[in-house]
Amino acid sequence: MSPSSPAPPHDDTALDFFGQVNQIFGNAAEHTDHPIGVLYQIRACDNIVRFEFPIKRDDGTIQVIRGYRAEHSHHKKPTKGGVRYAPNVNVDEVMALSALMSYKCAIVDVPFGGAKGGVCIDARNYSQEELERITRRYAFELSRKDFIGPGIDVPAPDYGTGEREMSWIMDTMHQIGDDDLNALASVTGKPVGQGGVRGRTEATGRGVYYGIREACRFADDMERLGLAPGVEGKDVVVQGLGNVGYHAARILTEEGGANIVGIAEIEGAIYDDSGLAVDDVVAHREDTGSILDFPGAENIDTSARALELPCDILIPAALEGVITEDNAPRIRASIIAEAANGPVTSTADDILQDRDVLMIPDVYLNAGGVTVSYFEWLRNLSHVRHGRMSRRFEERNAERILRAVDELTAEDFDEDLLESLIERIGFGASERDLVNSGLEDTMAHAYTEIREIREEKGLDTRTAAFVSAINKIAKSYRQMGIFP
């Protein structure tokens, strides 16, 4: 998509954040051969609504609140994306974030278009009752405008919102939904017990682990970086010990055998080249209010300095824009795993690519959340917990097979051995097992696709990820045609 390509009727590329997303899109589109009109349609933000509504504050005064929802792409339905509560939410931001959701969903084959919404408030300035009124009215306004529904557009948590807000949205949809059996599937990120799925809380962090594991699996890629294949034994620094950073760090150590040598939080960072026990660091922070002064670890005065620590893998999992042209030359990691959204600026990205640092891009790496949201939506539409119908059957079957093997072999198994085998092998998959297995498969498959494009076209991993997304969305348009 060259700058000289004819502009579509309403060119939004001048917008700041959306413009930046479109710049990456444009670079990737150059490496595809789809008709220019199709590329413009993929890039365009289909629907956007901005609305204002009154709420009653606890002191009886009335305040007017502004909300947004952008539905970027309808090549798959419903559209899907978070709702953030932040004072600076604006039209440019929701358009950009909804576009990134379209590309993210396409990369991991989650059959949704992208969306994003927001309410312009600082949630800390409102009581729980006020937040409930805002959330319910926001959901009601979306419903009135046909911007929410299990087959239309499905919100999820984002900055400033969580399970609580998703429950209120779900209940509002139930109240106004005329007995719609599928109202539960109007929103994801609900608590378990209200239609939420087990494994959703740690899904993004777990997806980050699977993504890193895939990237480290290829011996020739690791050889280029002077590293051995595999996650085991690799030194890792994590910035941000929140939902994503904590679970990624924990699973990297527990399941991957990685060595977490550095952890950064708002108050500073700690470093120990012999490895930090993540749960002990969390407990220490809960006890003392800080990660600093963790026994045996060296204190680092600022979180930013931790990004420059020696390590194999650096995981920014807190904020956007933390790696810039200023600190990029001092980064010593061979792999940067973008768990947060947009942690590396585009100039820093160029510097790091020149230095042959392997970037695992956010648009792929943090897709675990939306992948498991898809599993939650499926659960809600099927009205049954994943694994409920088959778990006991699988257990009995495995036990029957083991007992049959015992009967068929010349020597009987020792009874204790048989019982322990039944216990270890003869279990049926729980919902969490199924969710984790689906997530693992999704992340592995998507990385293989991105890597193939990267190697075939000689691209960096981020551009290759966008090419993967564009190809899949273009294929949808090619197969569906354009209405009418």
Give catalytic residues, as residue numbers: 116
**Residue 252 CB, nearest approach to ligand NAD (Å):** 15
Interacting residues with ligand NAD (CB under 6 A):
204, 239-245, 264-266, 303, 317-319, 339-341, 366, 369
Distance CA 62, CA 64 (A): 7
**Residue 116 CB, nearest approach to ligand NAD (Å):** 11
How far are the Cα atoms of 43, 161, 167, 363 from residue 183, in angstroms, in the given order? Answer: 30, 20, 12, 29
**Residue 432 CB, nearest approach to ligand NAD (Å):** 17
Which residue, 149 or 316, is less far from ligand NAD as judged by CB?
316
Phi-psi region of 289 (alpha: psi -120 to 50; beta: other; left: phi over 0): left
How far are the Cα atoms of 8, 50, 57, 309, 408 from residue 62, in angstroms, in the given order? Answer: 42, 19, 6, 51, 78
Shortest-Cβ-distance residue relative to ligand NAD: 242
Q: Which two tokens stand for residue 32?
A: 């595809």
What are phi and psi for residue 264, nearest 5 degrees?
Answer: -115, 140
Biggest distance spanned by C-alpha atoms of the chain: 83
Which residue, 286 or 407, is less far from ligand NAD as judged by CB?
286
C-alpha count within 13 angstroms, C-beta hemisphere, residue 315: 34
**Residue 33 CB, nearest approach to ligand NAD (Å):** 31
DSSP letters spanning 347-368? HHHHHHHHTTPEEE-HHHHTTH
Distance of CA 439 to the CA centre of its chain: 11
**Residue 306 CB, nearest approach to ligand NAD (Å):** 8
Distance CA 468, CA 107 (A): 6
The answer to whether the CB of 199 falls within 8 A of the CB of 206 is: yes
Distance CA 263, CA 271 (A): 7
Which residue, 55 or 372, is less far from ligand NAD as judged by CB?
372
Distance CA 65, CA 134 (A): 8
**Residue 215 CB, nearest approach to ligand NAD (Å):** 18
Which residue, 42 or 370, is less far from ligand NAD as judged by CB?
370
Q: Which residues are bridge partners to 270 per DSSP?
A: 263, 299
Which residue, 367 or 474, is less far from ligand NAD as judged by CB?
367
Which residue, 339 or 467, is less far from ligand NAD as judged by CB?
339
